[in-house]
């Protein structure tokens, strides 16, 4: 496994690999790797000759009062996990490398970045879109691996990649969950023992809603109220949002139909968690 910090070194390496016709898969992360990342890496390794993993806690996607400074950075453990998973190249640039003095350019996204987390984290998705375009230019992958847990991020990046004609295939891997259903997240480690126990309600409430839809419930308002009341009943969480949207466009639905996503963001103390599930409504 090669650990590379310099953009130019990586670009040279990639160019050489591409000239030999080797396929490149890319897993962008902010580190603090967990089984969700592991599943992305494994999927990437199956489909590509070379697997590139980036670890970069991108300041531009954090708001001024968010957890940029305390975001976990277990560098050595991350490298051990990557090594074990047979990642070929880890890219670990510094902030200065990615945003040198005089840096000025931003990629702005449209509607899909406005609702849901966009409402609560202004600027977040333009930070994500910009860093991912930069990383795509550095890694030039054939395939990009994203997690279904970050559903809005996936929708935004699909839009950006398509709009800007970047030639890459986006692969989305299913959310990996703890035994009690909590979606794996680098932020779970912030939770106290009590919060950690309570957090399982998120997935249970989403599952219950899916059950109701399958039983014939079609009114989105009713479904969302059920999710909300269960979370409020069984936890101390503060709800940022719970939505029922079209899976591809993220447009809110009044009556559920087609490919539906139920998504939510809630806060346990200072820890903000997101989750979502998909439901196919015939």
Which chain residues interact with its own copies by CB under 8 A? 7, 11, 15, 18-19, 21, 103-112, 129-130, 133-134, 137-138, 140, 159-160, 163-167
Per DSSP, 148 falls in state T
Q: Which is nearer to its own copies, 142 or 275 (CB)?
A: 142
Per DSSP, 252 falls in state B
Catalytic status, residue 65 = no
Rg over CA atoms, the chain: 19
Catalytic residue among 37, 65, 204, 212: 37
Smallest gap, in angstroms, from Cβ of residue 53 to its own copies? 18
Report which secondary-structure segment, H or E, holds 245: strand 238-246
Q: Which is nearer to its own copies, 81 or 160 (CB)?
A: 160
Q: Alpha-carbon distance 256 to 262, whole Å? A: 10
Q: What angle do CA 30, 183, 248 make, to 5 degrees?
A: 80
Cβ atoms 124, 112 nearer than 8 A: no
Report which secondary-structure segment, H or E, holds 277: strand 271-281
Q: Which is nearer to its own copies, 165 or 215 (CB)?
A: 165
First to last CA, the chain: 46
Smallest gap, in angstroms, from Cβ of residue 19 to its own copies? 6
Residues 6+ apart with CB under 8 A from 272: 187, 240, 265, 266
Q: Which is nearer to its own copies, 121 or 134 (CB)?
A: 134
Q: Which is nearer to its own copies, 98 or 231 (CB)?
A: 98
Report which secondary-structure segment, H or E, holds 3: strand 2-4
Smallest gap, in angstroms, from Cβ of residue 133 to its own copies? 6
Smallest gap, in angstroms, from Cβ of residue 91 to its own copies? 12
Catalytic residues: 37
């Amino acid at each position: 496994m090669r650990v590379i910090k310099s953009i130019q070194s990586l670009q040279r390496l990639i160019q050489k690999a591409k000239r030999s016709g080797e396929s490149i898969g890319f897993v962008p992360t902010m580190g603090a790797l967990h089984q969700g990342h592991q599943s992305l890496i494994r999927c990437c390794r199956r489909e590509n000759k070379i697997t590139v993993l980036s670890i970069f806690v991108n300041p531009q996607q954090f708001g001024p009062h968010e957890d940029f400074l305390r975001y976990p950075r277990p560098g050595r453990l991350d490298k051990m996990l990557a090594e074990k998973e047979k990642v070929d190249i880890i890219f670990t640039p510094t902030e200065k490398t990615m945003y040198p003095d005089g840096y000025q350019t931003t990629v702005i996204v449209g509607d899909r970045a406005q609702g849901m987390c966009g409402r609560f984290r202004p600027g977040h998705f333009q930070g994500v879109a910009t860093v991912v375009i930069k990383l795509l230019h550095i890694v030039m992958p054939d395939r990009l691996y994203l997690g279904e847990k970050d559903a809005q991020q996936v929708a935004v990046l699909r839009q950006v990649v398509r709009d800007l004609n970047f030639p890459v295939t986006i692969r989305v891997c299913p959310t990996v969950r703890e035994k009690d259903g909590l979606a794996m997240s680098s932020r779970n480690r912030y939770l106290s023992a009590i919060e950690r126990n309570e957090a399982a309600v998120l997935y249970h409430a989403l599952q219950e809603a899916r059950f109701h839809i399958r039983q014939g419930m079609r009114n989105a308002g009713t479904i969302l109220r059920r999710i909300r009341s269960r979370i409020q009943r069984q936890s101390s969480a503060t709800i940022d949002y719970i939505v029922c949207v079209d899976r591809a466009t993220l447009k809110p639905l009044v009556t559920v139909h087609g490919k539906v996503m139920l998504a939510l963001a809630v806060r346990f103390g200072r820890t903000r968690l997101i989750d979502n599930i998909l439901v196919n409504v015939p």
